[in-house]
Amino acid sequence: MTLLIQRLLDGLFNGSIYAALAVAIAISHRATGRVNLAQGEIGLFGGYLALAMASPAASFVAGAALFSNLPGHPFHLWISTLLAVIVAAVLAVALQRALMRDFDESTPQRALNRSIALLICVSAVISSQWGTRGRIFGELFPSGSNDFVSVFGARLRYTTIGAWVVVIIACGLVTLFLSKTKAGLSFRALTDNRASSVLVGIQPKKLMAIGWGISGALAALAASLAASMSLLDSSLMFRTLIYSLAAVTLGGFDSLRGAVIGGIIVAQAQTLIPGYLGLPTEMSIVAALIVLITVLVFRPWGLFGQRPVERV
């Protein structure tokens, strides 16, 4: 029983990462009606910026010298992460306005191709500037051998608690923005009924840029949280993207709550199924796909997505 609880608790950390990126993908999809596969790489760019801002100018981290003239540099890792989240949001908006302005008007196939092209371009920039080897990011939360809470004999680590607190706060802020601000309410109206929203004067292009900005910020947050528990390398968010896509598909592309719950389910499947079926760690993605296929057989629109209505 203790082993089961421990595996459940271990899966929660990955669940927070998948949930954050899944919400980012869901927000971007609601803004444009298309899936942006470059979301993870935009977030990874933010993660590398956080590392550069937290590193001394004399270090071998590319970009650290650019921030050396700013007062207080090198910054505390949390300050660097928050600044990187803001920069990633601005970068996402700039990419949407400059390169993906008509992303929502593209056919699904063309939109997919364009997002893949953007993914490759951003990944190439990251590899050229920071290389492909793993780098130590630093600890955002205490992660010592004694930094845990005992739960029925299992260990719930502070890193897991902290990651979920951050993700819940971020998702809460997004929810407040969507429900309490004029821009947020306009964004919800646009995603619910695009044609009617345009007729009452809502500007889709402006709101789509806002959606991309929120998505970029959440993706950078996910990259920083993931790097804090492993190494920051050029393939970090590509791996995470696969699980997050499974999570948002499982929960439903039009449901932020579904994206979070989907992230938890995928992470638990990744932890439990290989552990009890004896699959190697490298095959953990198979577990996520098993759960995804099983759910989509019965609910193709996801657990919390809205069933499409066809008018005849």
For 138-178, how does the pLDDT look when each residue is reduced to its tens digit (9 = 90+)?
A: 899 988 888 899 988 889 999 999 999 999 999 999 999 98
Distance of alpha carbon 92 from alpha carbon 191, whole angstroms:
19
Q: What is the CATH number of domain 2-298?
A: 1.10.3470
Provide mean pLDDT across the span 44-57.
Answer: 92
Query: What are the contacts of 179-183 at 24+ separation with CB within 8 A?
Result: 183/207, 183/210
H or E segment and range at residue 232 = strand 231-232
- pLDDT surpassing 80 at residue 292: no
Where is pLDDT greater, at 71 or 280?
A: 71
* Pair 13, 229: CB distance under 8 Å: yes
Structure-token pair, residue 226: 């993931």
Longest dimension (CA), the chain: 67
* Pair 156, 2: CB distance under 8 Å: no
* Pair 11, 273: CB distance under 8 Å: no
Q: Would you state the torsion angle of the CA atoms of residues 6, 7, 13, 16, taken in this order, to the nearest 10 degrees?
A: -120
Residue with tokens 């790489």: 41
Which of 78-87, 96-105, 180-189, 289-298 shows the lowest per-residue confidence on average (mean pLDDT)?
A: 289-298
Short-list 8, 253, 197, 209, CA closest to 96: 209
Q: Phi, psi at residue 135, to the nearest 5°?
A: -125, 145
Task: Say whether pTM exceeds 0.75.
Answer: yes
